[in-house]
Amino acid sequence: MAMKIRLARGGSKKRPHYAIVATDSRMPRDGRFIEKLGTYNPLLPKDSEERVKMDMTRVQHWLDQGAQPTDRVARFLEAAGARPKAERKNLKKGEPGKAAQERAAKKAERNAAPAEAASE
């Protein structure tokens, strides 16, 4: 059975509250889980102690059993010091799309043309 440590969403519309759970990876996001390991409340300030709460002994137990944390949970574990920091690269995320690059090139051409005419 492929185990995951992931977030299960709760709370009402526009007021999210997440449970950190150990579950079978085939189960739905908010479906059946094996054990609740903690909570995450994204509405609280980032420096709040109550924002992320985890039972680290149980989390470590599931990690030892082979459970794989999702990206977000892995970041929580890195912040808590339970996992080494992983190096992440997302080089394409900051680049504009094709249409925006074309618009920028056209704008640069238009701005360069009057500057060249003025200098002659």
pTM for the model:
0.71
β pairing state of 68-69 and 3-12: parallel
For the chain, where are the E strands, in sequence order? 3-12, 15-24, 35-40, 52-54, 68-69
Q: Give me the number of domains the chain comprises.
A: 1
Find the domain containing 27 and state its range.
3-80
Q: Residue 38 in contact with residue 53, Cβ under 8 Å? A: yes
Whether 119 is covered by a domain: the verdict is no
Residue 9 forms beta bridges with which residues? 18
- In a domain? residue 33: yes
pLDDT digits (tens, 9 = 90+) for 67-89: 999 999 999 999 988 888 888 77
SS3 72: helix
- 33: domain CATH number is 3.30.1320.10
Domain annotation covers residue 16: yes
The pLDDT assigned to 3 comes to: 92
In this prediction, residue 106 carries a pLDDT of 92
- Is residue 116 assigned to a domain? no
pLDDT for res 115:
63
pLDDT at residue number 45: 94
Which residues in the chain land under pLDDT 50?
none
